[in-house]
Amino acid sequence: MADKNRTKYLLDEKDIPTKWYNIQADLKTPLPPVLHPGTGQPIGPQDLAPLFPMELIKQEVSRERWIEIPEEVRNVLRLWRPTPLIRARRLEKALGTPARIYYKYEGVSPAGSHKPNTAVAQAYYNKKQGVTRLTTETGAGQWGSALAMACAFFGLQCKVYMVKVSYQQKPYRRVLMETWGAQVVPSPSPDTQAGKKVLEQDPNSPGSLGIAISEAVEDAATRDDTKYSLGSVLNHVLMHQTVVGLETKKQLEKADDEADILVGCIGGGSNFSGFSFPFAADKLAGKKKKLRIIAVEPSACPSLTRGKYAYDFGDTVGLTPLVKMHTLGHTFVPPPLHAGGLRYHGMAPLVCKLYEEGVIEAVAVPQVTTFQAAIQFARTEGIPPAPEAAHAVRVVIDEALRCKKEGKRKTIVFNLSGHGHFDLSAYEAYLTGKLQDYEYPAEKIAEALTHLPQVKG
């Protein structure tokens, strides 16, 4: 029998998943093909070879349900996994809700977020193929920190193009990356043709994930010793994160409980997918049809809720393959939100497909009420959430209050994807009344959508 009075539900190291779950195996129809940016034709493995090692390319297109996690990767994951599932009893009490609230806490990783789950795997596969240097982009710095750490573990050089507004807002993220040995530059930078082009048009550009991706991809594509590493969006990245959801399922069994509502913040899709896909598998199989899976995004960058489902570039300049996704237009530069990891114009194709098919739902929330929720969580549970994760907290509180209003005792589970210890400038802005909401930039998005690539068929 489960102890109903427990607060933490812990697993042993032996419970770290030995296989990643690949949701592509359970889709009713396959994802739309990825297209070559030049020819518009479906791409093959060789088209991706300049950017990624072959093992990751195989994982990207695989339809196998379970893919073995190498023991070398699991050995590193043991540093922080399994992560705890925590019952938010103090938050429940403060809200006066009959709902049970649990959070999967990924902030216990050395980098402070869920991102190392894929960074370690990607560094391992690149090292195995003889790659000596990786490039990447980062928004808030969580992904850059994770990859910098993973590269240190496997003896790889690492260059991070950090979105300029985050580079300025979060200097200690940069210091953390440099502590692990990475070279960090603000993006757009003069180091690449893509960066120079943006700076010529707007010397004061705040940058965006799309621009930083362009720079990192160009850097990798023009050097033989270098590959590119992405922290979200791609299928293999989302799959590496499923360790989160697989552990959560085991922990809910320990709690003798079942989720009625799952919540995760969403920017490119990695933490949300890793947390929710093992549960979405049950919905796709016709079980747990009433389970609600909610993706939460910022209202100033609402790709799922307000974007167009169309083929678009993953980056700003147009160097990446074309993928079908919900997009605000690859030229759209989001407002300088403090949730830098959610400032992306597109969304993971797998997430978009599940949204289109009604397996998941999505909601957009503004910045100020999101920080109100973050403060309430910090003052009850003790953890200041990362601004990205605070979006999930906002909706969890809203759903818990709805349960209170309706007198329903539902179980709400969410992914607290990272802590906000390096994001205290955002909290300072909120506490001093300087944090502002950004209006939904309808005109800018409408203009950006006019630049979508023309795809036949």
**What's the mean per-residue pLDDT of the chain?**
93
pTM for the model: 0.94
Rg (CA), the chain: 20
User: Position 438: which residue type?
Assistant: Y
| Domain boundary, last residue among 216, 234, 252 | 234
Tokens of 454: 């023309």
pLDDT of residue 336: 67
Residues 158 and 277 both lie in one domain: no
Tokens of 340: 């830098």
At 338-372, the pLDDT tens digits run 555 566 789 999 999 999 999 999 999 999 999 99
Same domain for 216 and 241? no
In a shared domain, residues 217 and 300:
no
**Co-location of 107 and 133 in the same domain:** no
Half-sphere exposure of residue 170, counting CA atoms within 13 Å on the CB side?
A: 34
Domain boundary among 202, 218, 234: 234
Q: Are 89 and 162 members of one domain?
A: no
Q: Are residues 376 and 386 in the same domain?
A: yes
Tell me the C-alpha distance between 329 and 345, whole Å: 6
Total number of domains in the chain? 2
Residues 293 and 341 in one domain: yes
For residue 31, the 8-state DSSP code is: P
**Residue of 119, 220, 228, 242 lying closest to 177 (CA atoms):** 119
User: What pLDDT band is residue 405 in, cutting at 50, 70 and 90?
Assistant: very high
Does residue 210 form part of some domain? yes
Rounded percentage of the chain residues whose pLDDT exceeds 90: 79
If asked whether residues 241 and 298 sit together in one domain, one would say yes
The whole-number pLDDT of residue 84 equals 98
Q: Is residue 25 part of a domain?
A: no
pLDDT at residue 393 greater than cutoff 80: yes
pLDDT at 341: 59
Could you list the beta-strand ranges (E) of 380-436. Answer: 411-416
Lowest mean pLDDT segment, chosen from 112-126, 199-213, 375-389:
199-213
What are the distances in angstroms from CA 452 to CA 215, 306, 308, 316, 457?
Answer: 20, 15, 10, 11, 15
> How much is the average pLDDT of 126-150?
95
Q: Is residue 389 part of a domain?
A: yes
What string of DSSP letters covers 338-385?
A: S-GGG--SS--HHHHHHHHTTSSEEEEE-HHHHHHHHHHHHHHHS--B
Domain boundary, last residue among 190, 216, 234: 234
Q: Looking up tokens 């497909």, which residue turns up?
A: 353
Banded pLDDT at 3 (limits 50, 70, 90) = low
- Judge contact between 313 and 453, C-beta under 8 A: yes
The parent domain of residue 165 ranges over 34-69+115-234
Note the pLDDT tens digit of each residue in 148-206.
999 999 999 999 999 998 898 888 999 999 999 999 999 999 999 999 999 999 999 98
Higher per-residue pLDDT: 446 or 157? 157
168 and 255 both lie in a single domain = no
When pLDDT is cut at 50, 70 and 90, the band that residue 442 belongs to is: confident
Cα(first)–Cα(last) distance of the chain, in Å?
56
Give pLDDT tens digits for 295-304: 999 998 899 9
Do both 430 and 344 map to the same domain?
yes
